[in-house]
Structure 1
Amino acid sequence: MIRAIAIDDEPKAIQVIEHHASRIIDLDLISSFHNSEDALFFLKQNPVDLIFLDINMPHLSGLELLEKLQLKPHVIFTTAYTEFAIESYNYSAIDYLLKPFEFDRFQIAVNKVEQRINSKKQLHTFFFIKDGFKKIRIEYDAILFIKGSGNYLDITTKNRVFSPRMTFVEIIKKLPSSQFIRVHQSYLVNIANIDKIENNQVCMESNKIPISNNYKELFFKRLNF
Structure 2
Amino acid sequence: MINCVIIDDEPLAREGIASYVKEVDFLHLVGTCENPVELIKLLDQHQVDLIFLDIQMPKMSGIDFLKITKDPPMVIITTAFPSYALEGFQLNVLDYLLKPVTFDRFLKSVNKAKDYHHLLTKPSDYCFIKCGSKYEKIQFDDILYVEGMQNYVNIYTTKGKYVTLLYLKNMEENLDNKSFIRVHKSYVVSINKIEGIEGNEIFIQSYRIPISRNYREQVIQQVVSNKLWDKIKFS
> How would you bin the TM-score normalised by the shorter chain?
0.5 to 0.7
Asked whether the 8 Å contact 1:47–1:71 carries over to 2, the reply is no
| 1:21 to partner: Cα distance | 0.4
| Larger RCO: 1 or 2 (CA < 8 Å, sep 6+) | 1
| 1:120 to partner: Cα distance | 2.3
* Match status 1:60 vs 2:70: no
Give CA-to-partner distance per residue, 1:7-45, whole Å, 9 cap, x none: 000001001000000000000011001122111121134
Tell me what 2:18 maps to. 18
Asked whether the 8 Å contact 2:36–2:65 carries over to 1, the reply is yes
* Match status 1:48 vs 2:48: yes
* Match status 1:9 vs 2:37: no
Give CA-to-partner distance per residue, 1:89-132, whole Å, 9 cap, x none: 0111111000001111101000001001112222449xxxxxxx
* Match status 1:38 vs 2:10: no
TM-score, normalised by the number of residues in structure 2: 0.51
Give the distance between the partners of 1:89 and 1:82, measured in 2 at CA. Answer: 12
Correspondence 1:136-215 to 2 at 5 A = none
| 1:68 to partner: Cα distance | 2.9
Asked whether the 8 Å contact 2:30–2:46 carries over to 1, the reply is no
Tell me what 1:99 maps to. 99
The one-letter amino acid paired with 1:4 is: C
TM-score, normalised by the number of residues in structure 1: 0.53
* Match status 1:90 vs 2:105: no
- List gaps (5 residues or longer) in structure 1: 126-225
> 3-state SS of the aligned residue for 2:75?
strand
Identity of aligned residues (%): 38
Correspondence 1:128-143 to 2 at 5 A = none
Tell me what 1:110 maps to. 110
> 3-state SS of the aligned residue for 2:122?
helix
Tell me what 2:215 maps to. none
> 3-state SS of the aligned residue for 2:12?
helix
The CA RMSD measured in Å over matched residues stands at 1.5
